[in-house]
Structure 1
Amino acid sequence: MERESMEFDVLIVGGGPAGLSAACRVMQLAQEAGEELTVCVVEKGSEIGAHILAGTVFEPTALNELFPDWKEKGAPLNTPVTRDDIFLLKNQDSATKIPNAFVPKNMHNHGNYIISLGNLCRWLAEQAEGLGVEVYPGFAAAETIVEDGQVKGIITGDMGVARDGSEKDGYMPGMELRAKYTLFTEGCRGHLGKRLVNEFKLDEGKDPQHYGIGIKELWDIDPAKHEPGLVVHTTGWPLKETGSTGGSFLYHLENGQVYVGLITDLSYSNPHLSPFEEFQRLKLHPEIKKHLEGGKRVSYGARAITKGGYNALPKMSFPGGLLLGCDAGTLNGSKIKGSHTAMKSGMLGAEAVFEALKDGKSGEEISSFQKKFEDSWLFKELYAERNFGPAMHKFGNIVGGAIAYFEQNILRGSLPITFHDTTP
């Protein structure tokens, strides 16, 4: 049975913040120039947002650029941050609140919002479709199409395959989706992104990438304890007992709910460490328990986090496409945020692709992307925080935090040296 084939000007793999921002931006540029482009987003989830597992503190910098009138358009940013609390958990019973004056500048959240990232992605998809983007949820990209050294698109997964690999009665082969340029925005450790990094040697000369696992729960809590806009972060216990690094978060959003979670760096060496069990212990600490007691867990999940930062960021362009967002690793670890950086990378990718298409290119590497990236606030932000992750991993959260404070609050810029963390 032959595969069906569809062709587009731009194909975007992944319906998260980076991919949807890229789709919106490239169509905005096309409409401003009076050009007609075909743009398609494929998303493996059953609907946009289905695989987005993030209740997050969101910085609206990129959204302000993409849709300056997002408030009028009804973007779901409903809970502005009202207060930041950071605690050093000493043991299972005690904690010390870190005075705001000693908190690294990047961890202050004035002007940010507590949001459901899934809801924001659903809203971005609506804007994309309104601009003329074709959005196809429920289609997982299984393979890349590489011809003559250029990426030409992707093949979606076959339908109707039995567990043993045989074809069932309703078997349908996956479709070929071809494009002049394909943008890969699959999120952390995207399986096609990993292959592209290896195939085109995009990580040559870079530090090893670093990862974390974030376990998160959504709770309905006692209305008397609810403080919309409160942001709480912790470091220290319980991870310090095993010599591991990471930290926890608790965010009060609207409707009497909170997000609570623990991020564990996956560089831990203790084979007995269980991030899940550590999270259960964390919830019994008095500083966390006081928010949750009397409440009810509504949902839970986990996701991987690409957190190597600037030093581990691969080359993002290759013949026929770009690697963007968390597929590349644009998260800003010092801010504990990656959505605004993912969105900006998608917007920069869209601008570079549009210029290439306007010049009549199709499949040639977009070498201009690197300069566009280096001229952006995204590059400046990631470069300025390049020492944050390595300092935390090498010296621990206390000394690492002190280095971050010195860079951000005293120097108001980075040290003239670069720390490297070569242990994955």
Structure 2
Amino acid sequence: MSFDVIIVGAGPAGLSAACRLMQLASENERPLSVCVVEKGAEIGSHVLSGALFEHKALDELFPDWERMGAPLHTAVSDDRFCYLTNEFNYITVADPLVPETLQNIGNFAISLGNLCRWLAKQAEELGVEIFPGFPASDILYNSQGIVAGVVTKDMGLDKQGEHKSTFEPGIELKAKYTIFAEGSRGHLGKQLIKQFHLDHGKQPQHYALGLKELWEIPAEHHRPGHVIHGVGWPLSQTGTTGGSFLYHLENNQVAVGLIVDLNYHNPYLSPFDEFQQLKHHPLFAQHLTGGQRIAYGARAITKGGLSSLPRQQFPGGLLIGCDAGTLNMAKVKGSHTGMKSGLIAAEAIFHELEQGFHHTTPGYDKIFCQSWLHNELHESRNFGTVIQRFGTLLGGTLASIEQKWFRKSFKWTLEDNKPDHECLEPIANHQPLSYSKPDGILSFDKASSVFLSGTQHEENQPCHLKLADDAIPINFHLERYDEPSQRYCPAGVYEIIEKDGKAAFQINATNCVHCKTCDIKDPSQNITWIPPEGGGGPNYPNM
């Protein structure tokens, strides 16, 4: 099948690119064929974010989004930033001391999954073809080494890779231009960065793991638009950076979560258990007590900022959104920036098509460098780096001072050139961490949490978590790091079990929520995540 443009990923960046391309085609009375492929079973099923949404990119795409019924219903009405000093106490930071970038009055507390479903509806009405349940498995190159489309995943293979009776081969989707918008740590994005040396001269990309739950609470405790952000405990106990959040949404629902920077040192740290511990803090417990947990999910966050942002253009296509790393860390927001990168991508590619070109290198960089997106990322370029280098208290204070008073005049660019996976230290340097047993009221185990994520995979298929060397987990990682995957994975995918009287490494691939943490944090870079059969993975209702 052939199209003018193929977009891989139906998140905010990919769908914004699709919509804008069709708008430009209509404005210029030019026929255009655009196809979006999405690995999730339906649009939004793999989308997870906090999410506080800044709508200026949406204003550009659909200026009358309110009349069109965009699912932005809950404006932020009360915004607090707190430092959790220990498991019982916290300090609310005075508003004048909070940088403008972290103030949220004027933003909306939303479900990003619902926004993507709405964007997909607009795209289809504009003429975009959208195919959920079709993961892009490989990149097509022409004889000149130019990107010429993608191949979707083969369906109906058994664990040995043999054809089952339901076998269907992948489809070659050819395009004049291909946009990759897979989200954080996209497996094709990784290949493109390596193939075209897109990260040459850049610091390594940095990541965090975001864990989130959706709760339904009693109506008398519900405060729509009430927002809390926190730093400090429990991550401060191990010198780990990150932050927490709680947002009152619509329909008596509350989103609560923890973001853990993946440059942490302690191999005994379990991000999942840190999150469960967080909810017992009075700052959060007062909002959740009496409520019911209704959904759970986890996802990697690309957070290196401008210093880690690879070149986004290459022959035949573009890398956009979190696949590239356009998140503004000073705002802790990536949806509006991802959408803007999609709008720029549409403009750059449409210009090439208008000139009668195909398989050229779109002129994305020039438009990007003149946009508010570049200005935002430039002003926030040091925010994440200074916290990663100097810790939550000192780094956070320095970052806040820069953002509050000097972000437009500060000339230096700080760098962090140590990849996250190299930050993990041997167990000899640390004492084991003890986490309280979940009480089933505020804290829970991984099994029940994965159940609430709606995760399903066809069991008889090849494992989508590939080990470069099967021996490394037991022969090297177990002694040096007590095999950290059994803790950094938020879904219980990896286990050390006893087999024939010896330790063995077990992969429970059907538990995978597609967060990509293993692909990022494995200290030997031994694990590679690839997409499973189409439709597999979590099925988030409105995360």
TM-score range, shorter chain: over 0.9
Match of 1:333 among 319, 329, 334: 329
- 1:371 matched to 2:342: no
State the shift of 1:51 in Å: 0.4
- What are structure 2's unaligned runs of at least 5 residues? 420-543
Superposition pairs for residues 348-359 of structure 1, below 5 Å? 348-359=344-355
2:498 aligns with none
C-alpha contact 1:207 1:420 (8 A) present in aligned 2: yes
Counterpart for residue 193 of structure 2: 197
Contiguous gaps of at least 5 residues in structure 1: 1-5
Residue from 65, 68, 77 that aligns with 1:73 = 68
SS in 1 for 2:307: helix
Structure-1 separation of matches of 2:398 and 2:224: 31
Match of 1:346 among 311, 335, 342: 342
Corresponding residue number in structure 2 for 1:95: 90
Check the 8 A contact 2:37/2:134 in 1, yes or no: yes
CA distance in 2, matches of 1:169, 1:257: 44
Aligned counterparts, 1:85-234, within 5 A: 85-147=80-142, 148-234=144-230
Q: Does 1:388 align with 2:383?
A: yes
Give CA-to-partner distance per residue, 1:31-68, whole Å, 9 cap, x none.
Answer: 00000000000001111101001240000010000000
Aligned-residue offset at 1:406: 2.2
- Following superposition, the deviation at residue 377 of structure 1 comes to 0.2
Q: Deviations over 1:206-225 (max 9, x none)?
A: 01000110110000112222
Q: CA deviation at 1:414?
A: 4.6
Separation in structure 2 between the aligned mates of residue 414 and residue 238 of structure 1, nearest angstrom: 34
Distance 1:393 1:11, change over 3 A: same
- Kept in 2: contact 1:212–1:304 (CA 8 A): yes
User: TM-score, structure 2 length as denominator?
Assistant: 0.76
Q: Which AA in structure 1 matches 2:241?
A: T
In 2: Cα distance, 1:101 partner to 1:318 partner: 44
The amino acid of 2:316's aligned partner reads: G
What code does the residue aligned with 1:57 have?
L
Q: What percentage of residue pairs aligned between the two structures are identical?
A: 57
Moved segments of 4+, more than 6 Å: none
Structure 2 residue 23 is matched with structure 1 residue 31: no
Once residues 331 and 221 of structure 2 are traced to their aligned partners in structure 1, the CA distance between those partners, rounded to angstroms, is 26
Q: Residues 2-31 of structure 1, C-alpha deviation per residue, up to 9 Å, x if partnerless? A: xxxx00000000000000000000100010
* Counterpart residue type for residue 417 of structure 2: T
RMSD, aligned α-carbons: 0.8
What letter matches 2:108 in structure 1? Y
> In structure 2, what is the equivalent of residue 361 of structure 1?
357
Superposed displacement of residue 228, structure 1: 0.4
- The reply on whether 1:293 has 2:289 as its aligned counterpart is yes
| TM superposition shift of 1:412 | 4.9
Q: For residues 132 and 202 of structure 1, what CA distance do their matches in structure 2 show? A: 32
| SS of equivalent to 1:311 | coil
Q: Counterparts of 1:408 and 1:90 in 2: how far apart (Å)?
A: 23
**Structure 1 pair 406/191, CA: closer, same or farther in 2 (3 Å)?**
same
| Pair 1:311-2:307 in alignment | yes
Q: TM-score w.r.t. structure 1 length?
A: 0.97
Report 1:400-415 matches (<5 A). Answer: 400-415=395-410
Which structure features the higher share of strand residues?
1
Cα distance between partner residues in 2 of 1:124 and 1:258:
23
Match of 2:41 in 1: 46
For residue 200 of structure 2, give the secondary structure of its aligned residue in structure 1.
coil
Residue 121 of structure 1: how far off its partner (Å): 0.2
**Which residue identity does 1:32 align to in structure 2?**
E
